[in-house]
Amino acid sequence: METLKETYTVDVSGVKIGGSNPVRIQSMTDTDSSNIKETVKQILLLYKAGSELIRLTIDNEDSAKNFSEIKKIVRDKGCDAPLIGDFHYNGHILLKKFPDCAKKLDKYRINPGNVGKKGAKTKNFYQILDIAKEFEKPIRIGVNSGSVDGDVIERLKENGIKDEMIIQEAMILSCLDSLNLALDYGIKKEKIILSCKTQSPKELIYIYRKLRQQCLQPLHLGLTEAGGGIKGSVWSVVPLAILLNEGIGETIRISITPFPGGDRRDEVYIAKELLESLNLRYFSPKIISCPGCGRTSSDLYRKLAKEIDDFIKENEHIWIKDYVGVEKMRVAVMGCIVNGPGESKNADIGISLPGKGENPQSLIFEKGKQVAVLKGSLKELAIEMKKRIKSFVEREYPFKGEKDGKRPKRKN
């Protein structure tokens, strides 16, 4: 595969996007941004879930007016994620009328398709750029398939572009046109991130590959209008995984619909799993367990996998705080001898349970070597595995607070 040149690095209030920096996770609130209490609450939830940048709608005077207070409260509560203003139609007016909001936002998202009509378009765009220049703010030029610039579509039709390619090509052209306008207007290349989101995974792959060939701006990836549930997750992850695996994409957002009763944080959790699945980032230890099949003698492996998964989740925040590199730990729980010993050897620590008709014993592996053979009930196996995992963590990962070779005692 062709090695891509590094993109420029855009510094969003200390969170660096692009260049050799890790792929960053973004999310967006869905509260009314004029409601300080609800918006603060959601920003903090997304932040605690692991969102490194958080975007919120600034669509009316109250939301612009209340932004400073929102930022102050979330900062007081320990959230240091950059906060991004999402603007459509009236961004030029709100940013000008509320300079405190313009100053306190960490980045502006501008949609070239919604910045204004005909003659006013460039003027409004420049008005936002003037403010971005004044406060030295980075911007994202964010094109969306649902609001592509009509003038660009007309231009492409006149040039004989086939109907089925019009939207994709119009998005790319609109994005690059706006990029060039911004650069010519004096915005530094290290201040601009691009995105071109569509609801079709195949189109998304095509568009981003093209964009990456034509510029070195960091790219914000995301499938828009992905839907919810399994469909939304799979459709979002598939094109992003393909692109990220090719080295395309410097920041991501999973734009899924939280169905009633759903959790807004799912978009952050999915983004984290996606990056971990590609070994691009490591956030927490992980369990590797087989799906089970006709060879498993009972649901012992399922129950044990769940117990171990819960145990890791209960302890990971303490381990990650205390032990260097523990977020890369992999723990296998496998159902039978077919793949059990192999996967357990590949993991840092693993257990291979007996399948149907096999010798009723469980093999334990650590760092590729068999270290024990266990027999017993689910409860006994779970207790032993948890003990071994805890001791593995304490033994194999350097303690962060170690001084003169001694580990300080934990207070609780």
Rounded to a whole number of angstroms, the minimum distance from the CB of residue 56 to ligand SF4 is 44
Beta-bridge partner residues of 110: 87, 141
The only residue of 280, 338, 374, 378 in contact with ligand SF4, by rule CB under 6 A: 338
Under 8 Å between Cβ of 217 and 5: no
Candidate list 339, 358, 378, 394; residue touching ligand SF4; CB under 6 A = 339
Smallest separation (angstroms) from ligand SF4 to the CB of 216? 45
Number of residues this chain uses to bind ligand SF4 (CB under 6 A): 13
CA separation for the pair 236, 243 (Å, rounded): 11
Q: Which is nearer to ligand SF4, 222 or 335 (CB)?
A: 335
Least distance to ligand SF4, CB of residue 284, Å: 24
Q: Interaction with ligand SF4 in 266-325: which residues (CB under 6 A)?
A: 290-293, 295-296
* Cβ at position 316, least distance to ligand SF4 in Å: 25
Tokens of 284: 């927490």
CA distance 53 to 238: 22
Smaller CB distance to ligand SF4: residue 52 or 343? 343
Tell the smallest beta-carbon distance from residue 161 to ligand SF4 (Å). 49
Does 4 bind ligand SF4 (CB under 6 A)? Our answer is no
Based on the shown chain and the rule CB under 6 A, indicate whether residue 355 belongs to the binding site for ligand SF4.
Answer: yes
Distance in Å, CB of 301 to ligand SF4, minimum: 7
Looking at residue 165, its amino acid is M
Coil, strand or helix at 42 = helix
Give the whole-angstrom CA distance, residue 296 versus residue 350: 17
Look at the chain and count its residues: 412
Reported in sequence order, the residue ranges of 66-127 that DSSP labels E, i.e. its strands, are 83-87, 107-110
Read off the tokens for 127. 């008005």
Nearest distance, CB of residue 365 and ligand SF4, angstroms? 14
Smallest separation, CB 336 to ligand SF4 (Å): 3
Q: Which of these segments, 35-43, 222-230, 268-276, 333-341, binds ligand SF4 (CB under 6 A)?
A: 333-341
Question: What is the smallest separation between the CB atom of 355 and ligand SF4, expressed in angstroms?
Answer: 5
Query: How far apart are the C-alpha atoms of 266 and 222, rounded to whole Å?
Result: 15
Nearest-angstrom CA–CA distance, 170 and 143: 10
What is the number of the residue whose Cβ is closest to ligand SF4?
335
Among 336, 347, 364, 389, binds ligand SF4 (CB under 6 A): 336
Cβ-contact 56, 285 below 8 angstroms: no
- 154 token code pair: 């007309």
Q: In the complex with ligand SF4, which residue's Cβ is closer, 137 or 286?
A: 286
Give every CB contact of residue 88 below 8 A, 6+ residues apart in sequence.
59, 111, 114, 147
CB of 342 to ligand SF4, least distance (A): 9
Site for ligand SF4 in 87-126 (CB under 6 A): none
Cα–Cα distance for residue pair 90/97, rounded to 1 Å: 11
Q: How many helices and strands in the chain, by DSSP H and E?
A: 13, 15
Q: Are 355 and 335 in contact, with CB atoms under 8 Å apart?
A: yes
The residue among 305 and 393 lying less far from ligand SF4, judged by its C-beta, is 305
342 binds ligand SF4, rule: CB under 6 A: no
- 334 scored as a contact of ligand SF4 (CB under 6 A): yes
CA distances in angstroms from 171 to 89, 127, 130, 165, listed in the order given: 18, 22, 24, 10
CB nearer to ligand SF4: pick between 129 and 351: 351
Task: Closer to ligand SF4 by CB, 295 or 386: give it.
Answer: 295
- Piece of 131-139, 157-165, 240-248, 334-342 that binds ligand SF4 (CB under 6 A): 334-342
What is the C-alpha to C-alpha distance for residues 103 and 284, in angstroms, rounded to an integer?
35
Stretch near ligand SF4 under the rule CB under 6 A, chosen from 187-195, 226-234, 331-339, 393-401: 331-339
Task: Provide, rounded to whole angstroms, the least separation between the CB of residue 354 and ligand SF4.
Answer: 10
DSSP output for 226-288: --BHHHHHHHHHHHHHHHHHTT--SEE----B--TT--TTHHHHHHHHHHHHTTS---S-EEE
Nearer to ligand SF4, 115 or 336 (CB): 336
Return the CA Rg of the chain.
25
Decide whether 290 or 320 has the Cβ nearer to ligand SF4. Answer: 290
The residues binding ligand SF4 (CB under 6 A) are 290-293, 295-296, 334-336, 338-340, 355
